[in-house]
């Protein structure tokens, strides 16, 4: 089987003052092969912009699978 990368997205969950439930922020167009360290670094940047704390992140990768 051959796998072809189509797209990746990341969803961050942020908690902080002013909201009782965590807020979710979604980002599309994530580069193919983004590392855990890169996702974490981006999450830290988001946290500094909003004075919130990143409490979680989920990366979703969509691939096409072709039978040979």
The per-residue pLDDT for range 41-65, each reduced to its tens digit, is 999 999 899 889 999 999 999 999 9
Q: How many domains does the chain have?
A: 1
Decide if 61 is inside a domain: no
Of 62, 52, 26, 58, the closest CA to residue 40 belongs to: 58
Decide if 32 is inside a domain: yes
Decide if 17 is inside a domain: yes
Note the pLDDT of residue 20.
Answer: 86
Decide if 64 is inside a domain: no
Q: Which range of residues forms the domain containing residue 38?
A: 7-56
For range 14-32, the mean pLDDT: 92
pTM for the full predicted model? 0.84
Decide if 66 is inside a domain: no
DSSP 21: S
Query: Is the predicted pLDDT of residue 67 greater than 90, yes or no?
Result: no
Decide if 62 is inside a domain: no
At 33, give phi and psi (nearest 5°): 80, 20
């Amino acid at each position: 089987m051959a796998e072809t990368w189509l797209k990746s997205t990341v969803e961050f969950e942020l908690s902080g003052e002013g909201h009782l439930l965590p807020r979710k922020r979604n980002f599309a167009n994530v580069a193919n092969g983004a590392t855990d360290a890169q996702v974490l670094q981006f999450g830290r940047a988001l946290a500094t912009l909003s004075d919130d704390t990143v409490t979680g992140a989920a990366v979703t990768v969509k691939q096409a699978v072709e039978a040979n």
